[in-house]
Structure 1
Amino acid sequence: MANILEETLKDINREKIQLNQNEIERNNALLKQMTEYLITELKKDPFFKSIYERFFFGGSYYDGLKVGKPNEFDIDLLFKLPLNASPTIRVDDNYPGFVQVQLPTIDLLRTNPTSVDYSSMRKLVNDGNYLSIDRIMKWFQSRVDIAKNALANRADLDFAFSRTSVKNKGPAITFTIRNNATCDEFDVDFVPCFKFFNTKWPANCKPFRRELVDSKDQLTQEFLVVPKPKDAYSTTYMRLSFQGQERVLIHDKGHLKAAIRLLKLYRDKEHDEKIKSYYFKTMAMWALEDPTFRYKNATLSSIFMQLLERYINVVGKKKLQYYWNPSFNLFQESDATFLRDLHNRLLYFQKDLKSDNADKIKKHFGCDVDVGGLGGLLKGLGIKDDSGASTSTDNDQGIGSTVGAVAGVIGVGAIIGLGIWRALAHNNRQQNNQN
């Protein structure tokens, strides 16, 4: 007997999640060109050039967790701090998941000059020599604006900047890029990050995992400090990021990524924007530590139902622990009423998934459903369904191929009539052949 849930989830993945390869290649080529041009302009500033090291493609798309069109990208610009300023990570158990970065010997840049300009570096720290989020973002935005304006005046580029915005609660500067040839648009988030080698790994976090080091990816040996504030009152506590090790952690785990994408699709259908994409990756990383979690040789539906059960549990408990520091509850600022409502909806969702009813399952993902058994009727009449797969062996392809469009206009009654007409026509052909 066919596994209805398994086949339905695979259908949903094909219909709603798989990305258009041509669009991927076109946007990637344009993204690479734009990034190279922008960084070339940014490096015309001597201070930027002295602390900039490289960029990193981050976010859902490059983690293999993107849902929908390939039209949102994250690029982290990685900065290194001068060693003779003695960059130091300061942890505070009252702020799990966040750290301060202090440059206690920053004045040595003045008395012992290096390639890093002292006065410029000084503008990024407060009176206690701690990196200041406000000062970092003011500097970063000013440099990006200058570079963007320089590119905007060039006529030899394949792209143009449609809009620029700064996220209120995050460090990203978002560009909307337009393809001059197709007029298609996509968004790119540029995020400033300070990188540290694993020898400075934060003391109050899970230890550095050497087995997650990938020789082809330097970031697996590093961690990032991102000028994303803990709250509106925080100016020096910045968010930790372990993207390199996380990417290795969820890599090559069977259908795990596909299951995460399906959960994200369900979230989007329900408009639960308060549930961040990172939360699903966090649930998956915790699952991989659980010996009862089965992913090797497991079906997509099996992994999906296991992750959904975890989703229901953490929402019900109103507690999702940050993977790298379990004392940080990612739901700590979430509205209790929202989580209670979400918990009830997830239980209803889970019940429908167990119903062996493909239409009940598909409606939760925003897919077309077989209203009133129309799909079965069409199959019985030998007419093509919406997927374009013919259920008939005769040659009436013209009629079958138009049914999907006709159904939306003339309704089920007309479809039945059309089926009867086909049956009569088929019967007449048989009689003529006999004569």
Structure 2
Amino acid sequence: LTFTGSYADNLKVKYPNEYDLVFRLKLPEEKRILVVKDEKIPGNVKLDLSQVLHVIINQKQHVNTYKQLKKMVTSESLLSIQLLQSWLESCFTKALDDINKEIIYNDIKTTLSYSKQGPAHTISVKEPYMYSVDFVPGIVLISSKAILPSISKDWDAIPKPLKCIYSDTSFRASYDNIENEMIKNKNNLKNALRIIKKFRDIHTNMHNLKSYYIKTLFLWRASREPEKFWYQPIGFVVIQLFTDLNNSLEKCKLPFYWDPNLNLYEQIGESGLTDMRRCVQSKKKLLENYTRLKVKTEVDHFKVYKTFREYINIVHNLYVDIKI
């Protein structure tokens, strides 16, 4: 299991009540997985398990694994998202049924519920605390199987469907570990990212701007800026990234960092992009006129929040009714 998302990146700007976990599925004979670039969906790959199945059919220790994998591939031996997810759903359902959908710890009984949305299998808790955990499956692939030449670590193939194009055998290539390396230890980067996320959170017409979209803006900026850029005043960094956000919305285009041919904004309708563009443009000038914010790096979330509150007061209700 690997934490992902805002909590793992130390970018959560609210009390953490949602957690993202990738449970990494490591197949036997992983070196024999044929990774094929999906020519129709940028940033995606297909997984051909023909060679894996050919080898493990004769391995006694993998009798059950072979039977299960055989059920989850197409006639062309490509791993099927629907069949994989259906099997995982049955596993989650059985596991919860086996414990009667509840756990007892320190004499406190907690009821669990299960739901499925997109690639995630979600387990929710309502009492005594309310939180949820999204379990997203990822097929572990070795670095030599990456479709990019610069990958030096294991990576994952995520069964993440696109709204605009659907393919039952197309997996999103995910390099989360490398992304985390790119944004860590860069002074004001994470503070600026938190502030822009907070801006998103308090404007209802910005709800289509996913956290990963904001992170992508920072990945692009981090890839082209020297280290000293992130040591400039937080106000300056925020304005630069806010400008990047504005430019991307004006162009209606946010390229996926690992394959610029994929426009992440394609999944947002025209009206959603228009709403976000108007919201950002209406605040951009106020941000550009603000030069007093010169706070250096603060790791603690509440110090960042305190700085943000000062920001609010100075720019005349730019951010209002913030609650953590």
Q: TM-score range by the shorter chain?
A: 0.7 to 0.9
* Residue from 55, 70, 80 that aligns with 2:16: 70
TM-score (norm. length: structure 1):
0.63
Mark the CA change 1:165 to 1:273 in structure 2 (over 3 Å): closer, same or farther. Answer: same
SS at match of 1:115: helix
Percent identical: 27
1:133 maps onto 2:67 in alignment: no
Other-structure match for 1:173: 121
How far apart in 1 are the matches of 2:239 and 2:226? Answer: 13
Q: Alignment length, in residue pairs? A: 296
Partner of 2:16: helix, strand, or coil?
coil
Contact residue 56 and residue 62 of structure 2 kept, 8 A = no
Question: Do residues 364 (structure 1) and 318 (structure 2) align?
Answer: yes
- Name the structure 1 match of 2:140: 195
The aligned counterpart of 1:228 is 160
| 152 and 92 in structure 1: CA distance in 2 versus 1, 3 angstrom threshold | same
Q: CA deviation at 1:337?
A: 3.5
The answer to whether the aligner puts 1:207 opposite 2:150 as a matched pair is yes
1:346 to 277, 280, 289: 280
Distance verdict in 2 for CA 1:365–1:82, change over 3 Å: same
Q: Which has the larger radius of gyration?
A: 1
Instruction: Tell me the distance in 2 between the aligned counterparts of 1:89 and 1:60.
Output: 29
Q: 1:260 to 1:85 in 2, by over 3 A?
A: closer
- Give the C-alpha shift of residue 362 in structure 1: 6.3
Higher strand share goes to which structure?
A: 2
Task: Establish whether residue 278 from structure 1 lines up as the match of residue 212 from structure 2.
Answer: yes
Give the SS at the match of 2:42: coil
Q: Which amino acid aligns with 2:209?
A: I
Write the mapping of 1:36-51 to structure 2, written as runs, cut at 5 A: none
Contact conserved, 1:159 with 1:177, CA < 8 A, in 2?
no
With normalisation by structure 2, the TM-score equals 0.84
* CA displacement at 1:331 relative to structure 2: 1.3
Q: Does 1:163 align with 2:116?
A: no
What CA distance in whole angstroms lies between the structure 2 residues aligned with 1:96 and 1:358? 40
Task: Say which structure, 1 or 2, has more relative contact order (CA 8 Å, 6+ apart).
Answer: 2
Structure 1 gap segments, 5+ residues each = 1-54, 211-220, 369-435
Change in CA separation of 1:364 and 1:152 when aligned onto 2, cut-off 3 Å: farther
Cα distance in structure 2, aligned partners of 1:261 and 1:96: 29
What is the aligned partner in structure 2 of residue 295 from structure 1? 229
CA distance in 2, matches of 1:228, 1:307: 27
**Distance of aligned partners of 1:247 and 1:160 in 2 relative to their CA distance in 1, 3 Å threshold:** same
Q: CA RMSD in A?
A: 2.3
Q: Give 1:265's aligned amino acid.
A: K
In structure 2, stretches of 5+ residues that fail to align are 291-310
Please name the residue that 2:131 is paired with: 186
1:387-402 pair list within 5 angstroms: none
User: Is 1:319 matched with 2:253?
Assistant: yes
